[in-house]
Chain A
């Protein structure tokens, strides 16, 4: 393709789906359905949402038992309280890990994910491999993430196939008594809120 016809195209060979999406975008722009600015705003909105939102919620719940109760009873109201916009989620459920029960989340049908709280899902979350094996062999998947669970801990895999979005509330790491919320939030990884891993250990700097 020559470079002299006005607008920019990626230099590398595009996949079938990439070509299709560019064609749809061009058509939508051409017919005035959306504008370049709409696309840019949506990109910025998507990029602004990140696991930092979830980490803030978890850290607050670890440090404030009354907030934790509210977070579990009415997660969307708890988000609003923290200034996090979760209104795009139809329903939102918090899965609290305990010493005896661990939760893990998957969407075997597609890639349903609590985007306002965790941002965009990681590629592995959308892979056939994870979607298949997380339900059939959750302990094996956790082991690959570095989490080895004793047999007497109950593993609960949640397949979010419908209107509910799930976030795991992991166990607070030992040795973090007296930590500030900001320091606690640094331990809360995205993967610990999907449930495939523990949060980072509470080792002081």
Chain B
């Protein structure tokens, strides 16, 4: 896909920022504050938080496929291996142990 300028690579542990502010935020509420890992780096994309307001979407943001254990997000899960995978932009993620 596109080139990627973001700060993470596949396998990195990441925590989703727990932020809230007005705007066109593409990070679902249920995943904010949760910890997972980078499953795949999709590349750089125009920033929807800017595009939604008729702006140019620049600078581009790196988009990742981020994986979470289902039980880490929702507490219990019948299948121990079940996962939730969410597409999240770089500026919503921070490194974690």
A-B interaction: yes
> Which residues of A approach B to under 8 Å, CB–CB?
90-91, 108-109, 135-139, 149, 151-164
Q: Check A155 against B83 for contact (C-beta < 8 Å).
A: yes
Closest CB of chain B to A44's CB: distance in Å? 28
Cβ of B23 < 8 Å from any Cβ of A? no
Taking A162-B63, A164-B63 as contacts, is the C-beta distance between A155 and B1 under 8 angstroms? Answer: no
Taking A91-B1, A163-B42, A163-B63 as contacts, is the C-beta distance between A154 and B83 under 8 angstroms? Answer: yes
Q: In whole angstroms, what is the CA distance A149 to B83 when docked?
A: 14
Q: In whole angstroms, what is the CA distance A159 to B63 when docked?
A: 13
> Which residues of B approach A to under 8 Å, CB–CB?
1, 26-28, 30-31, 42-43, 45, 48, 63, 65, 70, 73-74, 78-89
Q: Check A135 against B30 for contact (C-beta < 8 Å).
A: yes
Taking A109-B28, A160-B87, A161-B87 as contacts, is the C-beta distance between A152 and B79 under 8 angstroms? Answer: yes
Contacts of A90 in B (CB 8 A): 45
Provide a sorted-by-A list of 28 A–B residue pairs whose CB atoms are within 8 angstroms. Answer: A90-B45, A91-B42, A135-B74, A135-B84, A136-B30, A136-B74, A138-B70, A139-B82, A151-B78, A151-B79, A153-B79, A154-B79, A154-B81, A156-B82, A156-B83, A157-B82, A157-B83, A157-B85, A158-B85, A159-B84, A161-B27, A161-B86, A162-B26, A163-B45, A163-B87, A164-B63, A164-B65, A164-B87
Contacts of B1 in A (CB 8 A): 91
Contacts of B87 in A (CB 8 A): 159-164
Q: For B1, B85, B89, which residue has the most chain A Cβ atoms within 10 angstroms? A: B85
Q: In whole angstroms, what is the CA distance A146 to B48 when docked?
A: 37
Q: In whole angstroms, what is the CA distance A161 to B86 when docked?
A: 7
* Of A155, A160, A161, the contact of B82 (CB 8 Å cutoff): A155
Taking A91-B1, A139-B79, A162-B63 as contacts, is the C-beta distance between A108 and B85 under 8 angstroms? Answer: no
Taking A161-B27, A163-B63 as contacts, is the C-beta distance between A155 and B42 under 8 angstroms? Answer: no
Q: Check A159 against B26 for contact (C-beta < 8 Å).
A: no
Closest CB of chain B to A57's CB: distance in Å? 19
Q: Looking across the interface, which residue of chain A has its beta carbon closest to that of B31?
A: A159
Q: Looking across the interface, which residue of chain A has its beta carbon closest to that of B28?
A: A108
Contacts of B86 in A (CB 8 A): 158-159, 161
Contacts of A139 in B (CB 8 A): 78-79, 82
Q: Check B79 against A155 for contact (C-beta < 8 Å).
A: yes
Identify 12 new A-B residue pairs, CB closer than 8 A, beyond the known A135-B84, A164-B87: A90-B45, A135-B74, A136-B74, A138-B82, A151-B79, A159-B86, A160-B87, A162-B63, A162-B87, A162-B89, A164-B63, A164-B65
